[in-house]
Every structure is written in C-alpha cells, then in structure tokens.
Amino acid sequence: MEPILTLADLDNWSFEGTALAVLGHPIKHSISPAMHNTALAEMSETDERFASWRYFRFDVPAEDLPLALDRLNAAGFFGLNLTVPHKVLAFDRIAGIDDRAQPIGAVNTLRRTTAGWHGFNTDGYGLATAVQEDLGINLSNTPIILLGAGGAARGAAVECLQRGCASLHIANRTAANRDKLIAQLQPIKGDIPVNGFSPQEIPADLPTNALVINATSAGLKPEDPLPINLVALPKPCGVFDMIYNPAETKLLAATAAQGIPTANGLSMLIHQGVRALEIWSDATVPVAAMRRAVAAT
C-alpha cells in the first residue's frame, strides 16, 4: 500500500524514476495506486522502461491545488490523476485541455508538457467501455435516461452525445441543477433530443429499451432513497450504476429483481484508469492486471 503523502514530502523529494500520482481529499480510500502500480509491474516485464515508473498518492485539500500543481511539475512528476474535489477546480488552472474534455468542464488526468499540465477526462471513456463490456450496449444510437446532474452526470451526458446516442433524458432531484446541465449541453447536442424530467413526475413519453445510467450519489449509503422508481419507467434495456461500493445498490437490486441486466461502476473505474495510463505511457495497458488489483483491495 502506497503511503499517504502531503506536499511537505516534496521538500526532500529524491525519487529518480517516472513519478505519477493521484491527488484528492480525502485520498485514503483511493484504489488507483494499487491499480496502476500492479499494471506497471506487469508492463515492466516486457518493457524495462516501466520498471522505474511508480504511482504515488497525495492528500491535497482544495485550497492547495494550485500550489500542488506547481510543486509536482517542478519536482518532475509526469502524470497526475485528480479526484474529489479537484476535477473541476483544475480545469481553469492548467496550460491546455483536450478537445473532448472541453465541454465537460472537468479533468481527471493530467500529462506534463513543456508548456505545463495538459488535461484530459477519461471518465467518459471508462463509462462507454464499461457499458459495452458489462451490458453489451453501445452508447451510439441508444436512448439514454440519465439520473443526476452533478460532475459525473455531466461527463456521462457529454460522452453519450459525443458518441451519438439516440436521445438523452435527464432526471434530477433538484430541477435547477438539471436545467443548468441541459443548458450547458446545448452547444454540443447537435440534433439529438435532450430533455429533462423530475424523478417524482415521470413523463409518459419516455423511450422503451433505454439505457438507464445512475450518476447520482443516491445509493452510496444504505439509508439513501432510490434515485428513481424503476417500475414507473418503460422497460429499460439495462441499468448502469456508477456506484461500485456497495457492489449492489438498492437500484441494482430492484433492477435485477425485474430481470433487467445490471452493471455497477467498477469496470468504469478500471477503464478510466486504463485510459489514463495509456495517455501517460503510449503503451498497451494490461486491463486484467488492473482488474486483479481492484479485486484484491
């Protein structure tokens, strides 16, 4: 297990290999170090340049992010992952943003360039790959019912639109947040229909065979309410819950009881990590090794 580092550990930084790290607050539950270091160990068996790569973790509160980005750059770090609360905060503080991350307004992967940090968002790739792998559903041409309007929902909405979903219906507890997200999607929606509804008032004209994606945090705690009453929806082709701990939320249990295919957010977590390591390494990343590392935590 990688120790939890803070910026003070950079005062006498002496690591000479290629350093990667995840920054977050809190950071103690992150399984990214185990996932990446296991993959790097396997990659080094066939390419010795990866023998000197190592992935660290830093506890960085929100207010220290600008300092952390400067200090990690100066210390020679090559790649960073960002998690809560830094994904949106970093967006306006880095030298460049990947075109596909631009409409998301958040970045989770940074690569060092001569100009400074260049930002990417690999969560959408993780979602699309997991939905394909676990449910056999391609986001292209599929009607989507998206629950939530926070950061993860925004990333999911952008990915669904960029991949040409058939339609996008967004439900969220707070109508103002839902409407704000729908307004933000206007410039990239093209001719794909994008509509909102309240989870308490399910409209009659929702599509059948839609993929339901839960991007709310309802389900993280046992006492959380269901984000939607599934029986009130036309039968979906599958339900994907971004939550992976617990492995089966109340929503997924209710879905499985109706015989509808389900998947939790574990494969999404793994594939966003795979894509990040591909961005840093320009090499093929062993997905199975990452999956093994996650299963062992």
- Find the binder of ligand NDP among 113, 174, 229, 297 (CB under 6 A): 174
- Find the binder of ligand NDP among 33, 126, 143, 207 (CB under 6 A): 126
Count of residues that interact with ligand NDP, criterion CB under 6 A:
27
Query: In whole angstroms, how close is the CB of 72 to ligand NDP at the nearest point?
Result: 22
Report if residue 248 touches ligand NDP, rule: CB under 6 A. no
Report if residue 227 touches ligand NDP, rule: CB under 6 A. yes
- Catalytic site includes residue 87: yes
CA distance 92 to 97: 9
Report if residue 102 touches ligand NDP, rule: CB under 6 A. no
Instruction: Report the candidate in 81, 73, 82, 83 with the shortest Cα–Cα distance to residue 113.
Output: 73
Report if residue 148 touches ligand NDP, rule: CB under 6 A. yes
Nearer to ligand NDP, 73 or 214 (CB): 214
Going by C-beta distance under 8 Å and a sequence separation of 6 or more, which residues neighbour residue 200?
none
Cβ–Cβ < 8 Å for 7, 75: no
Q: Annotate 92-130 with b (16+ C-beta within 10 A) or e (fewer).
A: eebeebbeebebbbbbbbbbbeeeebbbbbbbbbbbbbb
Report if residue 120 touches ligand NDP, rule: CB under 6 A. no
Beginning with the edge strand found earlier in the chain, give each strand of the sheet holding 167-171 in spatial order: 194-197, 167-171, 143-147, 211-214, 238-241, 262-263
Catalytic residue positions, numbered: 87
Which parts of this chain interact with ligand NDP (CB under 6 A)?
123, 126, 148-153, 172-174, 177, 215-218, 220, 224-225, 227, 242-244, 265, 268-269, 272
